[in-house]
Amino acid sequence: MTNRRKKKKTTIYLDPDIEAALADFAARRDRSQSMIAEAAIASFLSPDDAERREAVVAKRLDQLDRRMTRLERDVGIAVESLAVFIRFWVTTTPALPEPAAKAAKAKSAERYEAFITALGRRLAQGPKLRQEISEDVGGSDEGTGAH
């Protein structure tokens, strides 16, 4: 004969919607509400459940960490690219005389619009420059000394 412990009666208060959902679930499964509630509470208190939730959170945090690492790398590439371009442009572009400067200023809006259009096409077609650059280029600071 099995030596079973006697169950204790516990009275709880449930929100009417939760109580209705419990009654509906128990009726569909042809089980008692007490058994369904006991199983739900046991599952909630189970150490496996806590470990499972912790594993899910840890996995999500790992994914976020990898995304942040890629984002940090991509922003670093963008900043360095912009800095190199500006340095190159400033050192290779001579100052224009006054009459030519006025003409260049008038042409700049048109050239800027062409740049924005070309950028839009590039972003729409892919692949992005960051996808073309090898992962190991961003991982090493050697050979990228400041100028």
Question: Both 80 and 123 in a single domain?
Answer: yes
Spatial separation of the C-alpha atoms in residues 63 and 69, rounded to whole Å: 10
Q: How confident is the model at residue 125 (pLDDT cuts 50, 70, 90)?
A: confident
Q: How many domains does the chain have?
A: 2
Answer yes or no: is 2 within a domain: no
User: Looking at residue 4, what is its pLDDT?
Assistant: 74
pTM, full prediction: 0.43
Q: How confident is the model at residue 59 (pLDDT cuts 50, 70, 90)?
A: very high
Question: Both 105 and 72 in a single domain?
Answer: yes
Answer yes or no: is 28 within a domain: yes
Tokens representing residue 134 in the block: 């090898």
Answer yes or no: is 62 within a domain: no
CA angle 115/120/122 to nearest 5° reads 95
Alpha carbon of 142 to those of 3, 64, 87, 129, 146: distances in Å?
72, 27, 20, 21, 11
Tokens representing residue 68 in the block: 């942040």
Tokens representing residue 11 in the block: 């009275």
Question: Both 79 and 133 in a single domain?
Answer: yes
Spatial separation of the C-alpha atoms in residues 90 and 99, rounded to whole Å: 20
Spatial separation of the C-alpha atoms in residues 55 and 59, rounded to whole Å: 6
DSSP-based three-state secondary structure for 58: helix
Least confident of 29-33, 42-46, 47-51, 55-59: 47-51
User: Looking at residue 142, what is its pLDDT?
Assistant: 44
Answer yes or no: is 125 within a domain: yes
User: What element of type H or E holds 9?
Assistant: none
Percent of the chain whose pLDDT exceeds 90: 33
98-116 pLDDT, tens digit per residue, is 888 888 888 888 888 888 8
Domain range enclosing 106 = 68-138
Spatial separation of the C-alpha atoms in residues 54 and 52, rounded to whole Å: 5
Answer yes or no: is 144 within a domain: no
